[in-house]
Amino acid sequence: MANTLLKVTGLKVSYGGIKAVKGVDLEVREGELVTLIGSNGAGKTTTMKAITGMLLAEAGDIVYQGRSIRGMGSWDLVKLGLVMVPEGRGVFTRMTITENLLMGAYVRTDKAGIEADIERMFALFPRLKERRDQLAGTMSGGEQQMLAMARALMARPKLLLLDEPSMGLSPIMVDKIFEVVRDVHAQGMTVLLVEQNARRALQVADRGYVMDSGEILMTGEAKAMLDDPKVRAAYLGEAATA
C-alpha cells in the first residue's frame, strides 16, 4: 500500500459562531485521486481552506508527509508541495497568461525548468498557448479555470487540491477540465478533489468521502460509491430503489 501523504484527524473549524467542520477524518495516499463530495454548504471548501492554512483549525491535526502542518501559512505549504486551486479560480486578471504561469513558479529558482514547464502547460492546455499574451481577465470562465490549474502545476506540487473546478462552466468545458484532471493523475500526481458534480468526481477518483453538515457520512472506493443506492439518491439525482 502506498504511503499516506495527507492525514486529517478530528478537524474542527468554526467561524462566526457556526461549527462548519465537526471532527473530520480523511486521508490521501501517494498517487491517489481522492474526492470529497457533498451538497453546497456541507463544509468541503472550509476543510480545504483549513488544510492549506487559509483558515485556522480549532481542533484536530493535519499531517502532511509525516509532519503536522496545522497552523502553517499557505506560503510555506506551497514550498512543501501542497498547492490548491481555489474555488472561483483567483487568476491575476491584469497579468497575461504567461505572467500568471510565472507567478505559479514563484517558489522556484530553476529558470530552465520553469521555461520547460511553461511549454508543458501549453501542451496540456493548447488554448492557453494560443492566448499566451492575453490578459487573464479577458478570458472565459473555463479558460481561467485551465489557467488556474496550470498555474498551480507550475509549482510542481506533490499534492494538488482542486476546489470545485467545474463550477459555473459549460458542459464542454467541464468535460475538458475532468479530462485534464484524469491526465494529470495518470501522470502520477496525487489529487484531492472537492466537487459538487458527484458523478463526474467519482468517475475519475480512486476513493471518495461524502460530507454533510460538517461531518463525513461515508467513505469508500469510488466505483462502489457510484453504485451505492444512498449515494445515487442523495448526490447523483437518482431515485433510491428498494
List, for residues 183-211, the tens digit of each pLDDT value: 999 999 999 999 989 999 999 999 999 99
**pLDDT of amino acid 238:** 59
Beta-carbon contacts of 186 under 8 Å, excluding residues fewer than 6 positions away, are none
Q: Strand 4-15 vs strand 33-37: parallel, antiparallel, or unpaired?
A: unpaired
**pLDDT of amino acid 241:** 43
Q: Is 26 inside any structural domain? A: no
**pLDDT of amino acid 158:** 97
Q: Would you place residue 147 in the very low, low, confident or very high pLDDT band (cuts 50, 70, 90)?
A: very high
Residue 59 has pLDDT above 90, yes or no: yes
The residue assigned the cell 486529517 is 8
Cα 118 to Cα 156: distance, rounded to the nearest angstrom: 11
Q: Is 15 inside any structural domain? A: no
The answer to whether the CB of 69 falls within 8 A of the CB of 53 is yes
Q: Is 225 inside any structural domain? A: yes
Q: Is 230 inside any structural domain? A: yes
Q: Is 1 inside any structural domain? A: no
**pLDDT of amino acid 2:** 78
Q: Is 215 inside any structural domain? A: yes
**pLDDT of amino acid 234:** 83
Q: Is 51 inside any structural domain? A: no
**pLDDT of amino acid 90:** 82
Cα 87 to Cα 160: distance, rounded to the nearest angstrom: 13
Beta bridge partners of 221: 207
The residue assigned the cell 483558515 is 55
Domain enclosing residue 168, as ranges: 32-41+76-235
129 burial (CB, 10 Å; 0-12 / 13-18 / 19+) is middle
List, for residues 69-120, the tens digit of each pLDDT value: 999 998 899 999 999 998 877 899 999 999 999 999 998 999 999 999 999 9
> What CATH number did the domain enclosing 176 receive?
3.40.50.300
Q: Is 36 inside any structural domain? A: yes
pTM of the model: 0.93
List, for residues 9-52, the tens digit of each pLDDT value: 999 999 888 899 999 999 999 999 999 999 888 999 999 999 99
Residue 240 has pLDDT above 50, yes or no: no
**pLDDT of amino acid 21:** 96
**pLDDT of amino acid 233:** 86
Domain count, the chain: 1
